[in-house]
Structures are given as structure tokens and as C-alpha cells.
Amino acid sequence: MSTISPVNLHFEDSGEWYSLPDWAEYFINVGKQLSHAKQSHSRIITAIIVPTRAYGAAFVSLGMVLSDAAARDHTSATDHFEKLFDLQVGTSVIFRPGGGKTLRGVLKAPEEYKGKLHVKVQVHSKEGGGLTYLVDESHALQVQPAMHSRQLPKKQGTENTRFANKFVDSILGNSDPVQLGLRSKLCCAIVGKKSTLEYEIRKTPLAIHVNGDRYAEGLLQDVLRVDRFVSEKQSYRSALVPVGSKQPPSDIVENVQMGVVFDGAHGFLKWSERWNRSHQIVILDRTEPYFDDAISAINARFSQNRVDGENSLPRMDAPDGGEVLSFREAPK
């Protein structure tokens, strides 16, 4: 299993950058722990009561996506080969032909050679000879989508080694970031107010600092890849379900692989029964209108449906001013 470097994020306030408070790391760790919890015969219900629920759901979801990136199975060459054909001509890629080389390239139109279909990668500009490679299925994993400019150099340099998003690379540590940009899957769903979650996920700048200096800036969306905030050609890793009159789509309910995070009492009370086999986390603020109703519902489920003898989340100290209740519940 790959390992993930500690998340050392910073946020900006009035032009200055500060380390995220301990409560943010707590939420990330909840998501990481939940990703390793089995869903065989029961699910984990976790209620976290905090003075303010801002960013809580987003950080729990981040923990789940990060852990999935570290533990996922590697894509087979066949699956990857097929995905490469779905990408548009001109897509930026990194090509690793062997011998420790890493070349910046772009995809050209596929080409048949000796009766076999190949992916075609151009690695030099036309002025430099326009060198291209034909890559068959067995070597497909040598070609990976990347974030570099489509303008190719006359001469390749050592800076090609890591052209994925620096912010994403830094958060993932030793985990390979490729499949975040290539394969879609639903690690988790986030249920809450769309405008609030969009601000937290898409519009709040964060940064990785190295040796006290700002190294890379990004957004939670760079890792969470929420389905509603990606383009048609981009992959997703999580889904946002707005609290409204429409029920959550059945494909989201059925395909969530780890858990559902409820940002507030309203969504939990309204939709928690839809995910009757998924782990559930609800972030509650004592000042919200449906707080007492949510607590009553959770206490009822704890007393009536709790499964004894199975581990829930490992015991972790709650954030300052917070309370946590976590238990196993038999699915309905």
C-alpha cells in the first residue's frame, strides 16, 4: 500500500498564510479512518458536533479520497489503453519509455502498425524533428495524462519528472496522482447546501508550504473532483447532493464506495435513509434549526439499531468544544 504524507495545508487571511487548525486535521483523519472500515454486515454512523460546521464535510471527504488514492488497485494496461483512446488528440501527456527517461508529449491520432492499434505520442516540436512514438497496449501505462503546456520543447529536460498538479502531488505524497485525472469513481458523496460547499471546495485558496515557503497553491476541488464541478471530459472522485426537493439520483446512491458526509442536520434527516448500506458521517452545529431533531434521530438509531461487538471508528479526541458519537448500525 502507498503512504500519504501528512496533510500540511495552509489558508490565507488578509494576505497572510497560516497553518490549518487542529480541528481540520481531525476531520481529514476521520475520513482516512473511515476509508479502511469494512461495510460487510454493518455500517458506521458518526455524529460530530462542533461549534461551527464550516469546512468539516469537505475535509472528511478529502480524507476519504486521499486514502483511496493510496490504497486503490493499479489499473490494468488494457483498461488504461482504452482510456487513452477516449482522450482528445492534443491532450498533454507524460511518456516514460524506460531507462529512467520522462518525456513531455501530446497525443496524436491513433495509428495501426503491423496489424495492431497503437497510441501515438509526439514528444518534440516540429522544429525539433517532431519525434513520435507508437505505444501498444502492453506498454500503455508508460503514457499518462499530465498538466503541462501542449507546446513541446526542442529538447526534453529533467523538469518533466512530475508534471501533474504540484498541489495534488504534494498532498498525495508517494501515491501516484494519475488516476485522479483519468478514472471516475465515487469514493464518497457530500450532502448539503450547494452554494456553501462550492465556496469551500472551489473558491477557498489553500497552499502547501515547504521549509516555511509557499510551494504550491490549489483548491480542495483539485483532489475531491466533485462531479458537479468538473467538465464533461474530466474524471470525478466524489459527488455533491444538494439538499432540495429532488431525491438523490439512484446512480449516486448505489455507486458510493466509502461513505456519505452530511453537512448539517437538514440533509441527514431528509436523505440518510437513502444510503442504507453506506457509512455515514454527519457534521452538526448546535445553532442550526434542525439540530435537536437530528440528535433525537441519532440517539434512536443508537439505542435501537446498534451492533455490539464490532469496531466503529478508532477513538479520537474530538475537536475543542466538540463531541463525537460513533457506532455500528445494522443496515436495513
The residues, any chain, with a CB within 8 Å of residue 232's CB and separated by 6 or more, are: none
Higher pLDDT, 120 or 126: 120
Q: What is the pLDDT, as a whole number, of residue 1?
A: 41
Q: What is the DSSP string of 138-158?
A: GGGGGEEE--S-SPPPSS--G
Predicted TM-score (pTM) of the model is 0.75
Mean pLDDT of 16-44: 84
Task: List C-alpha distances in Å: 34 to 28, 93, 246.
Answer: 10, 33, 28
pLDDT digits (tens, 9 = 90+) for 40-94: 678 899 999 998 889 999 999 999 998 887 765 455 678 888 888 888 898 888 8
Q: Mean pLDDT of all residues in the chain? A: 83
The reported pLDDT for the residue numbered 163 is 46
* pLDDT score at 138: 87
In which band, very low, low, confident or very high, does the pLDDT at 303 lie, cut at 50, 70 and 90? very high
Give the CA distances from residue 303 to residues 45, 284, 331, in Å, rounded to whole numbers and listed in that order. Answer: 13, 19, 14
Per mean pLDDT, which of 177-181, 194-198, 325-329 is the most reliable?
Answer: 194-198
CA 182 from centre of chain: 12
| Stronger pLDDT, 309 or 239, i.e. the higher one | 239
Question: What value does the mean pLDDT take over residues 138-164?
Answer: 66
Please provide the distance, in angstroms rounded to a whole number, between the alpha carbons at the two ends of the chain: 33
**How many C-beta atoms surround the C-beta of residue 115 within 10 A?**
5
- pLDDT score at 164: 45
Q: Which pLDDT value is given to residue 162?
A: 44
**Single-letter residue type at 305:** N
Nearest alpha-carbon partner for 305 in 328, 282, 275? 328
Q: In terms of C-beta density within 10 A (0-12 exposed, 13-18 middle, 19 or more buried), how is residue 77 classed?
A: middle
23-32, 137-146, 153-162, 223-232: segment of lowest average pLDDT: 153-162
User: What is the C-alpha to C-alpha distance for residues 186 and 184, in angstroms, rounded to an integer?
Assistant: 7
Please report the domains of the chain, with CATH numbers, ordered by start residue: 9-73+183-329 (no CATH), 77-163 (2.30.30)
Higher pLDDT, 166 or 126: 166
- The residue-averaged pLDDT of 24-53 equals 85
Instruction: Classify residue 265 by its DSSP letter.
Output: H
